Structure 1
């Protein structure tokens, strides 16, 4: 799967060098700066680059100022040589070292001021875009919650009655109805909250997978495991279930012989890694680009910024590994 990376124009690269020269950090550069802060080679490389840029900037300014000074001197010399004896004569003008340094300081200040204003405007525009995206996600979540709250007690009471009537003659249908009730209750609870504990999220996935096992007899098997101390770890709701649904829809259902799904959660240093592994068909043209995965990436960005991510990779011999990497 090849992710589309937008190319940076020459103009943007030039501004990036200007930001580096004057030590202006945009929010999107903070992560790269933080990751390379402990790398001495990277720090040395950046320092040398900044010195080189400062020298190039100074040389360019000196060239522009000297060219202007030569133009003025040439103009004065031409005026004096072309005039008559009674005409006004100008004294020969040479730029002093103090004037040159003063003009250099002025150009440095004006350039820094321009780049700083542009960086502030760019940061404000980025924050406005993130705020608009957050508002859209909030509206979408509110609509989902309203839909989920339409007569839930009537639905559960009806399903409970169906389960009671089916138990004597159709125990499999009764068990399926019980799993459906558990799944719906857990889903409604997760919709009412922005976060959910890992234990409850795994129970929701367990109820969902039991229902799918009834739909896909002998074609679906699964297992769920997580470290005991992570039971109460809270994560954004519906993320894990979306990964499981994708594994069923794109991996297990299309495969003739089905497959196996593993949900594993463990902690490595200051990261919590929640992995959904399936042995389905594997990567296809649409895998990695669906609305569900885009929703997960947006939720992670809004909840954790750059500290969380969604990783996708191929499983061996077939299937997909989807991993949520969250800060502990």
Structure 2
């Protein structure tokens, strides 16, 4: 009996000295370390809740060992010093203290005797030499309240007083708070502290200074204000907001990421996303780079706005480069797979389905590899990334559908425009032909009028030739095109008329490659050239006029050349209605695949160079 009294006295003295030591003011570095200890044990970085008993704390002890009562009583004295604004004490029987709220204030502690509610399914610590703790009770993770705790401690008969004390203190103290930090993100430890470990294991622990600091601060009325002050001073105000309100900041991050993505799509969907490059491979690589840059920008923005991590510029550069390389690699693989398995003759729906499947499969592979190679990459992270890949794959299918709808509408419009353009071209060519013939008629009638008084015989011959020429031309008024042979026949008729007028002052020659006679060209393409050579060439000189018409093959098609020995062409553009009509006809019919040119040296010639690949 005397031995027990002496041990109790020593225990009380030890506890008193520990309390006094705990009362002494901590140096700033130690206090900062203790606060970090609290941060890493009581918070998981998702919300600002640190769970604890909201009212008084009573312990209902069931034991047959008087030492257990002494240990619990001494522990209560220490807790009273640490939590002075709460009533902390024994509850011998719940029937003796009807004012106690069992659900909110009571800890049932049984030592080698099961407490009430022994039929519950208890969690347990490791069994070390027959010593083990069984525990149950609700501790909020997303709510601040701790409700009734049930603890059953089994100790072997040979356990020492110190070991008994360690197990009881550990069980009671761990019931006063919720340890919910992240072990892999923990950097602050204190030797043998009860709250060091995240597992419920009492072996080798003791009620240390940092444990007292945690209990004292957690149960102080201004705990959150003190913790907020520490986070801001130790890091920053942004860190404080992001650390304690990660759920809210996650929503902000998601919104920012969506806005950045939508902005990129809105500004690049025409110029990049829906652009068809000459080499199809570029479609994949450039889009991959766009997505990679978007991801990097999003990452940097979110890191600045709502991240609590500390990143260096070099780290950002390495991560960004690795991400871009990964995107380009996956895009290259995707291009190869789609190029191998997707055929041009497949339906749009089948192509789109295969593209969704291939994209989802290829984007899922890195997640599976990381899950099996990186220790910190868990199954939940893998599932999240695979789900994200599936959503993006569906998004790609949706964009492909939108693109196909747009392309179909554009194709329909193009067909309609081509039809309208064809009708317009036909009308314009008919208009040009209608203008050419009256112009030629005007010149021919002038020639007939000039001969009427001087040579009636030639006048009659010219009038008949003109009649035959127009009869020949009228028979083809419904046609937009003629063969080269037919056009040259018209030119011959015209030159015969002009030769009658000029007599010996006009000579002409015509040469056509036989292989070209059946080729179709626009009506009245050659005649205005010859007419211009007569009117502005031969008629302006006193010597004999020479006109040469040739239609010859070229490497890419054929040439139409009209030469004359009249005065040189003026500088600049060729003037005259006839040549202007020829230029318009070439532009309408050949659409840039034929060239109209003229030169004075080494000989005066007008040339139409036609590409036969039309």
Q: TM-score range by the shorter chain?
A: 0.5 to 0.7
Aligned CA RMSD, in angstroms, stands at 4.9
Does residue 277 in structure 1 map to residue 565 in structure 2? no
What SS is found at the alignment partner of 2:562?
strand
Q: Offset of 1:19 from its aligned partner?
A: 1.3
Does residue 209 in structure 1 map to residue 472 in structure 2? no
CA distance in 2, matches of 1:72, 1:251: 79
Deviations 1:14-55 (A, max 9, x none): 4799211xxxxxxxxxxxxxxxxxxxxxxxxx54xx545533
| Aligned with residue 276 of structure 2, among 4, 19, 25 | 19
Write the mapping of 1:157-176 to structure 2, written as runs, cut at 5 A.
170-176=456-462
Which residue of 2 is the match for residue 68 of structure 1? Answer: 298
Contact 2:272–2:287 at 8 Å: present in 1 too?
Answer: no
**Closer, same or farther: CA 75–94 of 1 in aligned 2, 3 Å:** farther
**Closer, same or farther: CA 116–285 of 1 in aligned 2, 3 Å:** farther
Does residue 286 in structure 1 map to residue 585 in structure 2? no
Q: Offset of 1:268 from its aligned partner?
A: 5.4
Contact 2:430–2:480 at 8 Å: present in 1 too?
Answer: no
Which residue of 1 is the match for residue 527 of structure 2? Answer: 241
Q: Offset of 1:173 from its aligned partner?
A: 2.0
Could you tell which deviates more after superposition, 101-110 or 230-239?
A: 101-110
Contact 1:73–1:94 at 8 Å: present in 2 too?
Answer: no
What SS is found at the alignment partner of 1:239?
coil
CA distance in 2, matches of 1:177, 1:121: 57
Report the number of matched residues.
259
Contact 2:522–2:585 at 8 Å: present in 1 too?
Answer: no
The structure richer in helix per residue is 1
Q: Offset of 1:291 from its aligned partner?
A: 3.5
Which residue of 2 is the match for residue 136 of structure 1? Answer: 424
**Closer, same or farther: CA 191–246 of 1 in aligned 2, 3 Å:** farther
**Which gives a bigger RCO, structure 1 or 2 (Cα 8 Å, sep 6+)?**
1
| Aligned with residue 547 of structure 2, among 261, 264, 267 | 261
**Closer, same or farther: CA 299–290 of 1 in aligned 2, 3 Å:** same
Contact 1:263–1:276 at 8 Å: present in 2 too?
Answer: yes
Report the TM-score when normalising by structure 2: 0.34
Contact 2:512–2:551 at 8 Å: present in 1 too?
Answer: yes
What SS is found at the alignment partner of 2:473?
helix
Report the TM-score when normalising by structure 1: 0.57
Contact 1:265–1:274 at 8 Å: present in 2 too?
Answer: yes
Which residue of 1 is the match for residue 104 of structure 2? Answer: none
**Closer, same or farther: CA 69–94 of 1 in aligned 2, 3 Å:** farther
Write the mapping of 1:221-236 to structure 2, written as runs, cut at 5 A.
221-236=507-522
Contact 2:433–2:524 at 8 Å: present in 1 too?
Answer: no
What SS is found at the alignment partner of 1:290?
helix
**Closer, same or farther: CA 104–216 of 1 in aligned 2, 3 Å:** farther
